[in-house]
Amino acid sequence: MNYLYLLFAVVHLAVGGLVVQAAAKQKSLGLWLLALVSVGLAYDNAILGIGEIMGAGDTLLQLNIVRFALHAFATPLMMMAGLTLARNASVNWTWRRSMSILVYTTTLSCIAYGVNEYLTGAEFKIADSGVMRYVLAESNGPPLAAITTMTFLIAFGIALYIQERSWWLLAGALAMFACATFQLGIIANLGEVLLMVSFLATAQKFTYINRAGYLAAVAAMNPEERATQAEAQRGRKRKSAIWNRGLAWVIFITLTIDTIAYYGSNFGDKAVYAAAKLAKSSEYMTHIYASNIYLMLFFVHAVASLYFYGIPRLRANIRAIHVYIGYGVFIFTMVSQSLIGMEPIHMITYVINWAFIAAHIVLSFRFMLQRVRRANVDPMLELTVSPHLREPIAK
């Protein structure tokens, strides 16, 4: 019996109980959905905790199938819970109808994807890596539903930090993403605990409001309060953009290390890669850790950049071109990662991606020199408006 998993199950039940209490008091659908997620995660950890006692067999298989079903349905519901918390904090853009449509549609799509991935004709095999459980016999690529969910939660977390200086949701989403990236079993489950605790802390800080309540609160703000809030948000946005730029250089270093480890060791050859994986060679481990760190940081950087700079109008403007080159890096990174082992297609997309990266770096140096000449004002942020108060970013 693995007592840590059982402890995690108890924590999830405790968090779920507190969320139910808040949901009943605030009459919030988003919090009720969050309570459902807590119950699902408690079940997940409980089954992992008692798997060794039950042993392999049909009973454990059926219990694990239910575990996968709960993941398929519960994980995407976090997007709706995150939307509720952002609205409770009066984040302006989350009240748009288009955002409601986007979140609800994405949630349903991710649930459908999870059902197809985990339940429709899926085959399972026993896995005993310290925990007796059943896993998918074949994985069809990265967990897209979980990645999509984390994307939304990181975006909501950034908005909560910039608008209200509340870092709980952002920290929880980043911790979950970091723990899941390395796929180290119980570490990923610890990430789920940290994420749910961050949900609870955020839910207790911001009480539920409906659309009418939000509009009334905005109307009640006087011009001085609005100006003070706008200036504070701009300051946090500038500081966050500086951190995001620094993160980009760390990403570049990890990608360079991964590229040298992968192609320098001829891992494009499946036989060579399989042998290195079996032997856990230093080159293989360097590739794995550099690749995982790169993807995790890159994804966070991409979400933050999308939040800061949005989708600029198509025009012959060097700053808009810089943003779109960055999005090109994102697209070709995802494509090349999906084609690993499929040479020469993988190599072609990888080279194209490096071409986008090189252009992105050249323009980054250009804007860095502009910041030095203009007293560290970020020319890139001039592309955007405040996502909360619709006021231009100060130059």
| Cβ neighbour number for residue 253 with a 10 Å cutoff | 13
| Same domain (yes/no): 208, 335 | no
Domain count, the chain: 2
* Domain enclosing residue 200, as ranges: 3-220
Residue-level pLDDT at 11? 95
Residue 303 lies in a domain: yes
Angle (CA) 20-113-8 rounded to 5° is 40
Euclidean distance between CA atoms 198 and 201, whole angstroms:
5
Query: CA-CA distance, 387 to 395, in Å (whole number)?
Result: 16
Q: Does one domain contain both 286 and 212?
A: no
* pLDDT interval class at 395 (50, 70, 90): very low
Q: Where are the alpha helices (DSSP H) in 89-185?
A: 97-118, 144-164, 168-181
Say yes or no: 146 and 11 in one domain.
Answer: yes
Is 388 among the domain residues? no
My answer on whether 265 and 333 are in the same domain is: yes
Per-residue pLDDT tens over the stretch 30-78: 899 999 999 999 998 998 888 877 777 788 878 888 888 888 898 999 9
For residue 43, which of 66, 22, 21 has the smallest C-alpha distance?
Answer: 66
Residues 79 and 141 in one domain: yes
Residue 248 lies in a domain: yes
Read off the CATH number of the domain in which 38 is found.
Answer: 1.20.1070
Q: Please check whether residue 393 lies inside any domain of the structure.
A: no
For range 73-96, the mean pLDDT:
89
Tokens of 349: 């997309």
Q: Please tell me whether residues 71 and 208 are part of one structural domain.
A: yes
Q: With cut-offs at 50, 70 and 90, classify the pLDDT of residue 81.
A: very high
pLDDT > 80? residue 185 = no
DSSP-derived 3-state class of residue 134: strand
- Reported as half-sphere exposure (CB side, CA atoms, 13 A), residue 366 has a value of 12
Identify the pLDDT of residue 229: 73
Task: Give exposure, 323-360, as e/b (b: 16+ Cβ within 10 Å).
Answer: bebbbbbbebbbbbbebeeeeeebeebbebbbebbebb
The distance in angstroms from the start CA to the end CA of the chain is: 60
Backbone angles phi, psi at 377, to 5 degrees: -75, 135
Report percent pLDDT > 90 for the chain: 21
Q: Are 133 and 252 found together in one domain? A: no
Instruction: Note whether 199 and 63 are same-domain residues.
Output: yes
**What mean pLDDT do residues 97-123 have?**
84
Pairing of strands 124-128, 132-136: antiparallel
pTM to 2 decimal places:
0.75
Same domain assignment for residues 151 and 236:
no
Q: Quick check: 336 and 346 in contact, CB under 8 A?
A: yes
Judge whether residue 390 has pLDDT over 50. no
Backbone φ and ψ for 56, nearest 5 degrees, come out as -65, 140
Say yes or no: 304 and 208 in one domain.
no
Q: What is the pLDDT of residue 214?
A: 72
**The predicted structure's pLDDT at residue 136:** 66
Tokens representing 88 are 């409770």
Q: Provide the 8-state DSSP code for 121.
A: S
pLDDT value at residue 393: 33
Residue 384, in any domain of the structure: no
Residue 57 burial (CB < 10 Å; 0-12/13-18/19+)?
exposed
- In angstroms, rounded to a whole number, what is the distance separating the alpha carbons of residues 342 and 309? 34
Query: Any idea what DSSP says for residue 370?
Result: H
| Predicted pLDDT at 385 | 42
Select from 179, 196, 220 the last residue of a domain.
Answer: 220
Mean pLDDT is lowest, of 62-66, 210-214, 336-340, 389-393, for: 389-393
Answer yes or no: are the C-beta atoms of 202 and 186 closer than 8 Å.
no
Q: Residue 387: inside a domain, yes or no?
A: no
* pLDDT tens-place string over residues 210-242: 777 777 777 777 788 778 777 777 787 788 888
- Indicate if the pLDDT at residue 375 is higher than 50: yes
Domain final residue, candidates 176, 197, 220? 220
CA-based nearest residue to 389, from 228, 275, 248: 228
Question: Of 58-62, 109-113, 194-198, 337-341, which gets the smallest average pLDDT?
Answer: 337-341
Same domain for 146 and 184: yes
Domain boundary among 220, 240, 270: 220
Determine, yes or no, domain membership for 391: no
Residue 394 lies in a domain: no
* 294 Cα distance to chain centroid: 14
d(CA 127, CA 133): 5
Angle between helices 186-205 and 3-26 (to 10 degrees): 20
Q: Residue 64 — left, alpha, or beta (φ > 0 → left; ψ -120 to 50 → alpha)?
A: alpha
CB contact set of 79 (below 8 Å; sequence gap of 6+): 103, 106, 107, 110, 148, 149, 152, 153
Tell me the mean pLDDT in the region 315-330: 85
Name 136's bridge partners: 124
Distances (CA, A) of 366 to 146, 323, 370: 36, 13, 6
- The model's confidence at residue 7, banded by pLDDT at 50, 70 and 90, is very high
Residue 183: its pLDDT value, please?
64
pLDDT tier for residue 153 given thresholds of 50, 70 and 90: very high
Q: How confident is the model at residue 285 (pLDDT cuts 50, 70, 90)?
A: confident
Q: What is the pLDDT of residues 295-314, one digit of tens each?
A: 778 888 888 888 788 777 77
- Do 204 and 261 lie in one domain? The reply is no
